[in-house]
């Protein structure tokens, strides 16, 4: 099992890749894209089949990153 630090190391930002958005391992898979795909009907298993260059630990990294980003001191309502 990877530590939180090891998972966070899989999330990278580079101004030349996806406009600097957090991505997986320097590839063009933004965290937000992965979260959007997995919040819909796509299962983790199917996602890994559809994107074979990604690993299960990459998805764990996305979830860990999202959890870390949700640790805020103030919440704002999201407009629908």
pLDDT band at 75 (very low <50, low <70, confident <90, very high): low
φ/ψ (deg, to 5) at 18 = 50, 40
Q: What share of the chain is helix, strand, coil (3-state, %, to 5)?
A: 45, 10, 45
Domain ranges for the chain: 4-67
pLDDT band at 80 (very low <50, low <70, confident <90, very high): low
Which of these, 79, 41, 56, lies nearest to 10 by C-alpha position?
Answer: 56
φ/ψ (deg, to 5) at 14 = -150, 125
pLDDT tens readout for residues 20-51: 999 999 999 999 999 999 999 999 999 999 99
The whole-model pTM stands at: 0.85
Q: How far apart are CA 46 and CA 17, in angstroms?
A: 25
Contact 10, 25 (CB under 8 A): yes
- Assign domain 4-67 to its CATH architecture: Orthogonal Bundle (1.10)
């Amino acid at each position: 099992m990877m530590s939180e630090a090891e998972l966070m190391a899989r999330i990278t930002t580079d101004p030349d890749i996806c406009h600097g958005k957090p991505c997986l391992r320097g590839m063009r898979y933004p965290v937000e894209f992965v979260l959007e795909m997995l919040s819909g009907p796509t299962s983790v298993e199917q996602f890994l089949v559809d994107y074979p260059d990604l690993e299960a630990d990459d998805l764990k990294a996305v979830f860990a990153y999202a959890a870390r980003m949700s640790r805020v001191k103030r919440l704002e309502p999201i407009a629908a």
